[in-house]
């Protein structure tokens, strides 16, 4: 099957130029002006932009939390991603035990292979290509010896937490050992940076004082804890001579720490998310403030501005979403693909902010929102947009140039982008399986028109042509430090 995309303007992380693209089966085979071929189909994209498919390095699908589960699974979340221009996502495997439920709390024996197999089973319905990171939420000598086996499974990343005491956090000594193991095996440690001890103290004090509204989620997780933990992770990475990737950077001070560490030769990289560019903790003080609860929380307008500077000045490396949606009111069903769906959501914490599931929808929103309010607004260039949305994640996470590139030999993951299309965005456009959208009513100029996954057209305007099971698991190799 040969598909010729004619008369497009290609936008890569480094260049913008007029060209045709020839796709043969799943791969890009030729790029150039006025290609003379006899294709099976030809698509004229005059006036449109041609981008590599987006790569979201940070999503949570089918994630159990409190007494519910994130409302997008590995089909619905993938479908939503595709409508936003993303063709590859990276989820996080929860480190679990093969023991029966009642025995897990007593023995706490966890297993990498069991956990990965469990996530692979859930991902059999994948609609776009995907890969996994491994949450390293327990650490002992047995697990330490087994960490290199993840590379054989195609997983080159470990995520550690400096928060969530007695649930997800491991101590700094264990994090340091994990960094050393990663260094010796071509792996990468990712870090969620907050101060778990301060959060625990402030949360207990707030609850004792009966301060239970959503705003207290932000007030008990101070930005300084994120700033301090970011520098601490960078310091440990330097001492271990190992790279580290800081997820969901949300505070301006974190950008300062990232810039400082990188200027001093530390192999540290940073990711932010759209919610931290546009919203503040004031949104949590609204009557519907639970919609904006995520961890870490939103900060201030000054933090928004510094994060934009971090993108504009190439201090940051990627923009993920931390997509982890929940219904705002899970007692009322929504219609999804013709069936009613209701999943318990943020109403679970109606009277206690600590019981509100932490997470937001965003997997579809990322690219359209950042194009209008990032590129069109002059904060970032179209080439930076492609770097943050696609090319940099592909390089960091061992997928480049198969993904994140418009070059011969790359997978034909291609987005045809209409830079003039105007959309009044919101739930009506969203395929995220939840009952609200953070960007309701926002005016967009520039929107994806056609999405190809390995040469197959899976989104054509408003029409879904993809399918459950159409995605492939991507085994990753050692990535690059950018």
**Strand, coil or helix: 109:** coil
Residue 223 makes CB contacts below 8 A (sequence gap 6+) with: 250, 251, 253, 299, 300, 303
Along the 482 residues of the chain, how does pLDDT read in single tens digits? 999 999 999 999 999 999 999 999 999 999 999 999 999 999 999 999 999 999 999 999 999 999 999 999 999 999 999 999 999 999 999 999 887 666 655 556 789 999 999 999 999 999 999 999 999 999 999 999 999 999 999 999 999 999 999 999 999 999 999 999 999 999 999 999 999 999 999 999 999 999 999 999 999 999 999 999 999 999 999 999 999 999 999 999 999 999 999 999 999 999 999 999 999 999 999 999 999 999 999 999 999 999 999 999 999 999 999 999 999 999 999 999 999 999 999 999 999 999 999 999 999 999 999 999 999 999 999 999 999 999 999 999 999 999 999 999 999 999 999 999 999 999 999 999 999 999 999 999 999 999 999 999 999 999 999 999 999 999 999 999 99
Strands 268-272 and 244-249, sheet pairing: parallel
* Paired tokens of 455: 């040469």
Q: Which of 124, 137, 130, 136 is nearest to 59 (CA)?
A: 130
Q: What is the pLDDT of residue 13?
A: 98
Superfamily the domain 2-52+404-464 falls into? Urease, subunit C, domain 1 (2.30.40.10)
Q: How does DSSP classify residue 358?
A: -
Angle at which helix 223-240 crosses helix 172-184, to 10 degrees, equals: 40
- 475, burial (CB in 10 Å: exposed 0-12, middle 13-18, buried 19+): middle
CATH number of the 54-396 domain: 3.20.20.140
Contact between residue 73 and residue 60 where contact means Cβ atoms under 8 Å apart: no
**Residue 222: how many other CB atoms lie within 10 Å:** 19
Give the DSSP letter string of 256-272. Answer: HHHHHHHHTT--EEEEE
Residue 424 CB burial class (10 angstroms; 0-12, 13-18, ≥19): exposed
- Within the chain, all domains assigned CATH 2.30.40.10 are found at 2-52+404-464
**Calpha distance 292→17 (Å, rounded):** 39
Structure tokens at 460: 């054509």
What is the distance between the alpha carbons of residues 436 and 334, in angstroms, rounded to a whole number? Answer: 10
Evaluated on CA atoms 369, 375, 377, 378, the torsion sign reads: positive
Residue 273, number of CB atoms within 10 A of its CB: 25
CB burial of 225-241 (b: ≥16 within 10 Å; e: otherwise) equals: bbbbbbbbbbbbbbebe
Residue with tokens 């504009």: 312
Alpha-carbon distances, residue 466 vs 7, 82, 348, 352 (angstroms): 25, 9, 34, 40
The alpha carbon of 184 is separated from its chain's Cα centroid by a whole number of angstroms, namely: 26
Per the document, the length of the chain is 482
Pick from 240, 236, 235, 244: nearest CA to 264:
235
Beta strands per DSSP E along 139-197: 157-161, 188-192
Total-model pTM: 0.97
Q: Which residue carries 């990711």 as its tokens?
A: 271
As a whole number of angstroms, the distance between CA 338 and CA 121 comes to: 25
3-state secondary structure of 235: helix
Q: How many CB atoms lie within 10 A of CB 478?
A: 12
- Backbone phi and psi for residue 448, each to the nearest 5 degrees, phi listed first: -65, 140
Could you tell me which residues are beta bridge partners of residue 93?
134
- pLDDT at residue number 322: 98
Q: How far is CA 301 from CA 126, 214, 218, 228, 250, in A?
A: 37, 19, 14, 20, 11
Residue 284 pLDDT: 98
d(CA 454, CA 440): 32
Three-state DSSP at 32 gives strand
Tokens for 200, please give them.
């625990």
Q: Where in the chain is the domain with CATH 3.20.20.140?
A: 54-396
How high is the pLDDT of residue 105? 56
Where residue 313 falls (left for φ over 0; alpha for ψ -120 to 50; beta otherwise) is alpha
The confidence score (pLDDT) of residue 108 equals 60
């Amino acid at each position: 099957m040969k598909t010729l995309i004619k008369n497009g303007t290609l936008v890569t992380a480094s260049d913008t130029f007029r060209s045709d693209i020839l796709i043969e089966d799943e791969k890009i085979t030729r790029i150039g002006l006025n290609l003379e071929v006899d294709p099976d189909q030809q698509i004229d994209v005059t006036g449109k932009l041609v981008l590599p498919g987006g790569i979201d390095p940070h999503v949570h699908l089918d994630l159990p939390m409190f007494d519910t589960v994130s409302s997008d699974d590995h089909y619905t979340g993938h479908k939503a991603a595709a409508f936003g221009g993303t063709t590859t996502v990276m989820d996080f495997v929860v480190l679990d035990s093969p023991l029966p439920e009642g025995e897990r709390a007593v023995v706490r024996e966890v297993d990498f292979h069991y956990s990965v197999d469990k996530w692979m089973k859930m991902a059999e319905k994948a609609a776009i290509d995907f890969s996994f990171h491994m949450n390293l939420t327990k650490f002992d000598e047995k697990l330490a010896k087994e960490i290199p086996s993840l590379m054989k499974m195609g997983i080159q990343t470990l995520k550690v937490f400096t928060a969530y005491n007695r649930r997800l956090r491991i101590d700094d000594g264990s994090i340091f050992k994990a960094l050393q193991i990663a260094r010796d095996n071509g792996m990468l440690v990712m870090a969620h940076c907050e101060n778990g001890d301060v959060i625990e103290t402030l949360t207990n004090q707030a609850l004792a004082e009966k301060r239970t509204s959503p705003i207290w989620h932000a007030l008990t997780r101070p930005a300084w804890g994120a700033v301090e933990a970011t520098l601490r992770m960078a310091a440990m990475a330097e001492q271990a001579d190992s790279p580290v990737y800081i997820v969901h950077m949300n505070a301006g001070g974190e950008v300062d720490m990232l810039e400082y560490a990188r200027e001093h030769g530390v192999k540290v990289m940073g990711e932010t998310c759209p919610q931290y560019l546009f919203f503040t903790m004031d949104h949590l003080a609204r009557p519907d403030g639970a919609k904006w609860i995520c961890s870490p929380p939103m900060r201030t307008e000054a933090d928004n501005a510094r994060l934009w500077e971090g993108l504009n000045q190439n201090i940051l490396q990627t923009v993920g979403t931390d997509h982890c949606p929940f219904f705002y009111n899970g007692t009322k069903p929504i219609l999804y693909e013709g069936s009613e769906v209701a999943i318990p959501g943020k109403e679970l914490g109606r009277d206690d902010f600590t019981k509100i599931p932490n997470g937001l929808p965003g997997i579809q929103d990322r690219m359209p929102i950042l194009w209008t309010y990032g590129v069109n607004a002059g904060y970032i260039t179209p080439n930076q947009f492609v770097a943050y949305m696609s090319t940099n994640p592909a390089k960091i996470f061992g997928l480049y140039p198969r993904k994140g590139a418009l070059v011969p030999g790359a997978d034909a993951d291609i987005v045809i982008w209409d830079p003039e299309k105007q959309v009044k965005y919101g739930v009506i456009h969203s395929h995220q399986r939840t009952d609200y959208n953070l960007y309701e009513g926002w005016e967009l100029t520039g929107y994806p028109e056609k999405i190809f996954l390995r040469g197959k057209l899976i989104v054509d305007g408003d029409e879904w042509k993809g399918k459950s099971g159409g995605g492939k698991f991507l085994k990753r190799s050692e990535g690059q430090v950018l």
